[in-house]
Amino acid sequence: MSDIGDAALRFAFVIAILGLGLSIYAGVTRREDWTRVSERALVVVFAFVSVAMVALFAAFAGNDYQLEYVARHSARSMSLHYRLAALWGGQAGSLLLWLWMLGAYSTACVWLQRGANRALMPWVVAVFLANAIFFLVLVNFVTSPFGKLAPGEVLSDGAGLNPLLQHPVMMIHPLVLYTGLVGFVVPFAFAFAALLSGELNTAWFRTTRRWTLFAWLALSCGIMLGGRWAYEVLGWGGYWAWDPVENASFMPWLPATAYLHSVMVQEKRNMLKTWNLLLIGLTYTLCLFGTFLTRSGIVQSVHAFAQTPIFTSIFLGYVLVTAIGFMTALLWRRGEIRSPARLESMVSREASFLLNNWVFIALLLVVFWGTLFPVFSEAVSGERIAVGPKFFNTMAGPLALFLLFLTGVGPLVAWRKASPLSLRRQFVWPSAAGVACGIAFAIWFRGSVEFHPLMVWSLGAFVTATIVQEYARAIRTRVRKHGENPFRAVATLLRKNQQRYGGYIVHLGAVFVLIGTAGSVFNEERLETMSPGHEIAMNGYRLRYLTANPLPAGHYGGAVARLALYRGEEPLGVMVPEKRMYWLEQQPASIPSVHSTLREDLYVILTAIEADGSATFKIYRNPLVNWIWFGGLVFVLGSVLVMWPHPVRSPETRGE
């Protein structure tokens, strides 16, 4: 089966090269018949790559340790679902997964566009196939998942998967993250095709609106799932550490989010055309760069793969070629995409969106510089110097506050130019809510809380009040004009203007996430060594150490501790943190026990057990942390409402 997979990748490589040539020929000659042929070539490439995926899954399921990749990332002691998930646990398999998802997106796009955008499609297919060829080069000639060990090196068992990846979240986190990262190839391909073909009207971004939203939502969910995995598995009580691999997924999210806001200006006012093309090109280039960053080994991370010089050179070269190619096309068409409309006032919705773009780019530059600073410092001084979370928090914090402020301002200012009267009418209640909240918290905490979290909560109240005001006014209007009840009015608003009112729910989710992150200023941490029967108190909680027992024999060993948890005299439950040692991988792992409420988490880690039965625990109290996960759910709900397809309205209902 592995030989079939290897042959399928080689056939796919040949077909992709032929298809690329045909698609370019079809684009230059505008031959529809050759466009159709190139589209079929794309489907055939996807079919061959799918065969390779099935073959590699079969190798993991069947414990085929002749394959070097299977031997390095799987073991007989692992459950079947973890053996299958090991496919994306290493470099070669993760690249094959990227290639397969690229083929899935490309094939779905070609099928859905079979009767539309025919002038763009040959160039769209060319972009898809060019990307596929690059990844086919990697999995065929640089890091093949089907490479075999010499007969004398084949063992009866494999080395096993990194224990940190043997967690339910990690079965879906890479899939969701890749769904987002790879998904941006569709809007990128259409944008590039628009530049190459000269079809620079609104067709490219209208066609890809839901594709972009879907990819952005998947990337957002992937980032959130990564934070949840770090919180539950890494045993340090946190969810975000500005790790280079975390930043690799966050960097494309920033221009993508800016694009989703900026493109509304092009729809409404036919402005910011260059910005929108630049942002979508930057987004996909950063998706590729993030993949390069994690797989080249040039940064140190718990997630990163080993460094291989040839892989690093090839991948970085492709990222640069992609960026330079897109920018060259953008400069070539700069005269044609210049908008006749001009910014009429700095106090307008267009101006707020433009400012929004600049702040997102500034935030991107901060993250990019901080992430790659060790590389830059080594190149200049020969010494590798890393910057820590303090740098990112100091530099990114004010920018995040400004973005939060703009989130509330955007809906309140009018298009073209806002009058002083409308500004007073729109801003009075949201501003009062924000100021009142800030004053109330300042009095409540009496100087014990820093400026940043106070501003987050104050601006969060401002944005929330803005959203409530926008919904309340729209609902009142529909109730008065159409006699609808409030629930029907909300449903109608989400159906008729889902981009606007669904977007408000997304903003509300983002507010909740930021409120949760600001709660970290109240975090408490303690390290305690306790004997059985001993108690400690922490902010109203009592923890009594009961006992510790060895874990049942398996592919890992260790101990599990039991602690009774009380609030005052009220029993809340038993906490059971674990300390494991995975025998095959010779790697320890801490499994925390977490007691969660909407107000806070109590997070307990077992760090050591002594011969006399005493144990050392690290205990965290994390206030408001669950607002992050709740905000993520609201964020997803709002995004789904924005994307949800609605039937085309009849002429009679269109004027409601």
Q: Which of 550, 522, 593 is nearest to 235 (CA)?
A: 593
> Token pair of 2, please?
């592995």
- Helices vs. strands in the chain: H and E counts, helices first: 21, 10
Q: What is the DSSP letter of 116?
A: S
pLDDT tens sequence across 202-228: 889 899 999 999 999 999 999 999 999
Low-confidence residues of the chain, pLDDT below 50?
Answer: 650-656
> Looking at residue 304, what is its pLDDT?
52
Q: Which of 79, 80, 166 is nearest to 589 (CA)?
A: 166
Task: Render the burial of 23-58: b for 16+ CB within 10 Å, e for the rest.
Answer: bbbbbeeeeeebbbbbbebbebbbebbbbbbebbbe
Q: What is the dihedral of CA 270, 273, 276, 282, to 10 degrees?
A: 180
Q: Which of 315, 323, 340 is nearest to 138 (CA)?
A: 315
Q: What is the DSSP letter of 307?
A: P
Measured CA to CA, the distance from residue 397 to residue 451 in angstroms comes to 11
In which residue are the tokens 């550490």 written?
Answer: 241
Give the burial class of 362: count Cβ atoms within 10 A of its Cβ; 0-12 exposed, 13-18 middle, 19 or more buried.
middle
Centroid of chain to Cα 438: 31
Measured CA to CA, the distance from residue 172 to residue 655 in angstroms comes to 44
> Looking at residue 146, what is its pLDDT?
95
β partners of residue 600:
623
Phi first, then psi: give them for residue 100, nearest 5 degrees.
Answer: -65, -45
β partners of residue 526:
619
> Token pair of 410, please?
């955007």
Q: How many other β-carbons are positioned within 10 Å of the β-carbon of residue 3?
A: 10
Would you state the CATH architecture of domain 522-627? Sandwich (2.60)
pLDDT tens sequence across 564-574: 999 988 999 99
Measured CA to CA, the distance from residue 466 to residue 444 in angstroms comes to 24
Measured CA to CA, the distance from residue 436 to residue 191 in angstroms comes to 45
Instruction: Give the H/E segment covering residue 515.
Output: helix 498-518
Task: Render the burial of 209-242: b for 16+ CB within 10 Å, e for the rest.
Answer: bebbbbbbbbbbbbbbbbbbbbbbbbbbbbbbbb
Torsional sign, CA 491, 496, 499, 503? negative
Give the burial class of 200: count Cβ atoms within 10 A of its Cβ; 0-12 exposed, 13-18 middle, 19 or more buried.
middle
Q: Percentage helix, strand, coil, to 5, in the chain?
A: 65, 10, 25
Centroid of chain to Cα 37: 35
In SS3 terms, 434-473 reads as HHHHHHHHHHHHCCCCCHHHHHHHHHHHHHHHHHHHHHHH
Phi first, then psi: give them for residue 335, nearest 5 degrees.
Answer: -70, -35
> Looking at residue 569, what is its pLDDT?
87
> Token pair of 245, please?
């691999």
3-state secondary structure at position 271: coil
Q: How many other β-carbons are positioned within 10 Å of the β-carbon of residue 568?
A: 10
Measured CA to CA, the distance from residue 246 to residue 563 in angstroms comes to 33
Q: Which of 514, 533, 501 is nearest to 403 (CA)?
A: 514
In this structure, the strands spanning 615-623 and 524-530 are antiparallel
Q: Where are the domains of the chain?
A: 1-162, 167-387, 396-513, 522-627
Q: Do residues 529 and 612 lie in contact, with contact meaning Cβ atoms separated by under 8 Å?
A: no
Phi first, then psi: give them for residue 270, nearest 5 degrees.
Answer: 60, 40
Give the burial class of 451: count Cβ atoms within 10 A of its Cβ; 0-12 exposed, 13-18 middle, 19 or more buried.
exposed
